[in-house]
Structure 1
Amino acid sequence: MIPSLYTWAGGQAALENLTTVFYAKVLKDELLYPVFKNMSSEHTRHVAHFIGEVFGGPKTYTEEDKGSHAKMVAHHLGKALTEAQRRQWIKLLLDSADEVGLADDPEFRSALVGYLEWGSRIAVLNSNSTENPVKEDEPMPKWGWGEPGGPYQP
């Protein structure tokens, strides 16, 4: 049986470590600090739960955090994120993945980068709108090893 990306990454502890290290970098970054300066103390944990669920882990984000894909998208609305911010966000996240020793095999990193590219580009698009394109009852995205039936929905 093929493990989920969540399992391959090291589970919730690994993802929470990743987001803790990552957001510490974000708060020191001149380009990203203005976007995240008012984030809640729970933000890093919620993002780890979101990524974990998207990567095939437990439904902690939707069940315990009472989140949804629509709620995650809503956090980006009206933020007017730039391409430079998006690229810096990805750079810092990948630097953090290296720093915390997240799996670095080519297959996992390809899936991780694919997800980051997909999600960050959607975040930028949604940040230039005030209307949420995702309905509250739409399912959470699911990301895997590149198999058909990924996030693209025609």
Structure 2
Amino acid sequence: MTADRNTTESLFEHVGGREGLHRLVATWYPRVLADPLLHPLFGAGSPSHIDHLTDFLAEVFGGPTTYTDELGGFPALLEVHRGKQISEEQRQRFVDLFLTAADDAGLPSDTRFRTSLRDYLRFGTEVAVQNSHATDDVDLHPCQEVPRWDW
């Protein structure tokens, strides 16, 4: 891939679109359900979680806005995290399992992409932790729409 194409290509396109993201989430999700540290946050899981998270990440990385248009957007995601009391150890395990799943799912390994992915995961998990400890709306992260992540 040339540098010129890489600068105009979205992260969504770079990972192989929805198919690449779905493969990533489908690789990652069973791992969090089986992980003793993360299982309390996810419980038995949900049959729709892989598709919903795929749609969310697609929107974040520059793809279709299905998550916002059909699934309630960022406010719906905020509600999912309320009261979870996510610890720093759980946040870090989530990130570690996600990055391992990115390798195992065959996502691009170029430094530029992996840096963007790590930066997004840091942001996204910090927002999730903040919202999981919020006792009222004032404590929620101020972001009210799905973030759009780029290179």
When normalised by structure 2's length, the TM-score is 0.88
Structure 2 unaligned blocks of 5 or more: none
* Alpha-carbon shift at residue 39 of structure 1 (Å): 2.9
Amino acid at match of 1:30: P
Matched, 1:119 2:124: yes
Q: Deviations over 1:52-107 (max 9, x none)?
A: 1011001111223x221111111101100000000000000000000010011000
1:87 aligns with 2:75: no
1:1-154 matched pairs, under 5 angstroms: 2-64=8-70, 66-132=71-137, 133=140, 138-145=144-151
Alignment check: 8 A CA contact 1:21 1:96 kept: yes
Q: Distance in 2 between matches of 1:63 and 1:25?
A: 29
Change (3 A) 1:11 1:127: same
The number of aligned residues is 143
Describe the superposition over 1:112-153 as per-residue Cα deviations: whole angstroms up to 9, x where unpaired: 0000000101111110113343689x43211101xxxxxxxx
In proportion to residue count, which structure has more helix? 2
Asked if structure 2 preserves the Cα contact closer than 8 Å seen for 1:5 and 1:56, the reply is yes
Q: Which amino acid aligns with 1:125?
A: Q
Contact in 1 for aligned 2:23/2:105 (Cα 8 Å): yes
| Deviation sequence 1:3-26 (CA, Å, 0-9, x none) | 111000110011111111101111
Structure 1 stretches lacking a partner, 5+ long:
146-154
Report if aligned partners of 1:69, 1:134 keep a CA contact under 8 Å in 2: no
1:31 is paired with a residue whose SS is coil
Kindly report structure 1 stretches of 4+ aligned residues shifted beyond 6 Å: none
Quote the Cα distance in structure 2 between the aligned partners of 1:139 and 1:82. Answer: 24
Give the fraction of aligned pairs with identical amino acids, expressed as a percent.
39
Tell me which amino acid in the other structure corresponds to 1:100.
A
